[in-house]
Amino acid sequence: MSIWFNKHLKLEDLSVVLEGTMAEHLGMEWVALGDDFLKMKMPVDHRTKQPYGLLHGGASCTLSETVGSIASHLVVDANKFSCVGLEINANHIRSARQGFVTGIATPLHLGTNTHVWDVKIYDDAEKLICATRLTVAVLKKAF
């Protein structure tokens, strides 16, 4: 059973969400949308590396917060609620120097006021690069 508010949601519906954002600037792209997960990838290049040539930890956090926050947005009625990052914890397990990294967000908790997402980031060889936990606040929109 799908966790998404719009039960007819398709991956191609999400392309406009990234326009004019940090995610677009960093080259993030949607990869997959399942019944209970959202997946996106990001290049490991001059935009996302730190001075030693490794994937920057902040870029990993940006990927995690992007995929997790958008996943929360897709769970709620966006006409009534906004979803914003509240806290992120990241464990940088392995480095990446090239190719792409892929973040997969799955829910740990989908409550009325908060969502908690498990976001794991893998390299092209499917080795775990970073494990994050993202807490998102679900805010009622003022009318």
Catalytic residue positions, numbered: 65
Of 32, 30, 34, the closest CA to residue 21 belongs to 30
Q: How far apart are CA 30 and CA 23, in angstroms?
A: 10
Which DSSP letter does residue 59 get? H
Q: How far apart are CA 56 and CA 49, in angstroms?
A: 5
CB atoms within 10 A of CB 9: 14
Number of alpha carbons in the 13 Å side-chain half-sphere of residue 46: 0
Token pair belonging to 142: 């003022």
